[in-house]
């Protein structure tokens, strides 16, 4: 066995990738540790975020120096994150499946390349541009058209009735998120569909199935695992999306949404919107509590992505992510 400096160098550099993940966990954990001990479990189910009195001398509370009256609870943001992501997926999943079927089976090869580019572009549009479009086009549309339309058709359900407000809120955020998630799910499912063995399709045709029945009854069931994986991948993306949500969600603090038009805040967008005020805290407890949110987001993202990657099986098939 000879020493191979080239290979050793490659291994060292490659291990930077897993190390990055480890470093994120360790450093976020270490930095937010005082906040974790200060907040306890109350962090997850408390629903007021209060920086406390920043002008009085901070006092020792629960073993940590924190401003008087400081209270960090993120349940409102957890609810906002889960609600926006859930509604976004409710919209995005059927649409993505339709798009994937249309792109994989409904088109000739030339048109397929051009229209697939549309979906790739949708994935390439930066988050902040989605936010800008949401601000300039979508929120007025929600306030004047989509909101009133939903209320008049589904208004008998409590979640769809009540004041529509300015258009900034849960519905606008969910629509923007849905748009951002569709290309992820659609591309994954489209690639999976195009890899269904031709024998499978031919067998279905031989039984007399129409083209759509082949897709619906023979192809979709074969790629079920990929579809679920793709949806979880999309969920991971929606949970962590920051700028676009921040720009259209209305930024609710300390109250829960009363209907689908209410302003909300997600964990990710809260981190951005709060940095300036958190830095006013001389004890640093607010900034550390924000780090705790980032840590929770990180853990959620890792879990969803591990599940999604196990289901879509990217390691076996590199081209279908």
Query: Which of the residues 74 through 133 are near another protein (CB under 8 A)?
Result: 94-99, 101-103, 106, 113, 115, 117-133
- Among 239, 248, 285, 311, contact with another protein (rule: CB under 8 A): 239
Q: Is 305 in the site for another protein (CB under 8 A)?
A: yes
Residue with tokens 């291994």: 11
Residue 302 binds another protein (CB under 8 A): yes
Residues 6 or more apart whose CB falls under 8 angstroms from that of 249 comprise: 80, 84, 168, 169, 170, 172, 173, 263, 264, 265, 266, 269
Q: Considering the rule CB under 8 A, would residue 9 count as an interface residue with another protein? A: yes
Give the one residue of 36, 65, 79, 321 binding another protein; rule: CB under 8 A.
Answer: 321
- Residue 309's Cβ-count burial label (10 Å; 0-12, 13-18, 19+) is middle
Sequence-separated (6 or more) residues with CB below 8 Å from residue 33? 288
Residue 102 or 160 with smaller CB distance to another protein: 102
DSSP lists the bridge partners of residue 68 as: 53
Distance CA 277, CA 280 (A): 5
17: which residues sit within 8 A by CB, 6+ positions away?
Answer: none
Nearest distance from C-beta of residue 59 to another protein, angstroms:
24
| Interface stretch with another protein, choices 18-26, 53-61, 145-153, 163-171 (CB under 8 A) | 18-26
- Binding to another protein (CB under 8 A) within 149-178 occurs at none
Considering only residues 139, 242, 249, 262, which one is a binding residue for another protein as defined by CB under 8 A? 242
Contacts of 295 (CB under 8 A, 6+ apart): 25, 28, 29, 32
Can you tell me which of 76, 78, 83, 268 binds another protein, judged by CB under 8 A?
A: 268
Check residue 281 for interaction with another protein (CB under 8 A): no
User: Applying CB under 8 A, does 203 fall inside the site for another protein?
Assistant: no
CB nearer another protein, residue 79 or residue 141: 141
Residue 305 CB contacts under 8 Å (≥ 6 apart), including other chains = 233, 236
Question: Residue 297 interacts with another protein (CB under 8 A)?
Answer: yes
When asked if residue 205 is in the footprint of another protein (CB under 8 A), the reply is no
**Contact with another protein (CB under 8 A) among 66, 150, 171, 187:** 187
Contact 287, 73 (CB under 8 A): no
Q: Where does this chain touch another protein (CB under 8 A) — which range of 27-35, 48-56, 59-67, 199-207?
A: 27-35
- Cβ at position 208, least distance to another protein in Å: 9
Interaction between residue 33 and another protein (CB under 8 A): no
State the number of binding residues for another protein (CB under 8 A): 95
Q: Six-digit token pair at 169?
A: 């809120």
31, 33, 159, 205: residue in contact with another protein (rule CB under 8 A)? 31
State the nearest-atom distance from the C-beta of 123 to another protein, in Å. Answer: 5
Least Cβ distance, residue 271 to another protein (angstroms): 5
């Amino acid at each position: 066995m000879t020493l191979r400096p080239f290979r050793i160098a490659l291994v060292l550099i490659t291990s930077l990738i897993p190390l990055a993940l480890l470093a994120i966990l360790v450093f976020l954990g270490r930095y937010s540790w005082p906040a974790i001990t200060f907040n306890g479990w109350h962090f997850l189910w408390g629903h007021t975020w209060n920086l406390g009195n920043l002008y009085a001398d901070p006092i020792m509370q629960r073993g940590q120096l924190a401003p008087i009256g400081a209270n960090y609870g993120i349940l409102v943001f957890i609810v906002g994150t889960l609600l926006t992501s859930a509604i976004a997926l409710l919209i995005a999943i059927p649409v993505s499946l339709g798009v994937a079927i249309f792109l994989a089976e409904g088109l000739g090869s030339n048109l397929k390349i051009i229209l697939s580019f549309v979906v790739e572009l949708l994935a390439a549009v930066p988050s902040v541009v989605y936010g800008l479009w949401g601000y300039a086009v979508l929120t007025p549309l929600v306030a004047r058209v989509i909101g009133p339309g939903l209320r008049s058709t589904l208004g008998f359900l409590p979640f769809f009735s009540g004041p529509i407000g300015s258009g900034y809120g849960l519905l606008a955020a969910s629509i923007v998120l849905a748009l951002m998630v569709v290309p992820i799910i659609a591309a994954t499912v489209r690639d999976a569909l195009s890899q269904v063995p031709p024998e499978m399709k031919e067998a279905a045709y031989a039984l007399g199935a129409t083209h759509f029945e082949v897709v619906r009854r023979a192809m979709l069931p074969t790629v079920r695992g990929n579809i679920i994986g793709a949806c979880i991948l999309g969920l991971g993306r929606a949970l962590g999306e920051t700028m676009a949500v921040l720009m259209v969600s209305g930024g609710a603090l300390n109250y829960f949404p009363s209907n689908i038009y209410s302003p909300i805040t997600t964990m990710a967008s809260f981190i951005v919107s709060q940095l300036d005020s958190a830095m006013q805290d001389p004890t640093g407890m607010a900034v550390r509590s924000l780090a705790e949110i980032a840590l929770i987001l990180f853990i959620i993202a890792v879990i969803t992505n591990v599940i999604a990657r196990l289901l879509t099986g990217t390691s076996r098939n590199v081209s279908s992510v």
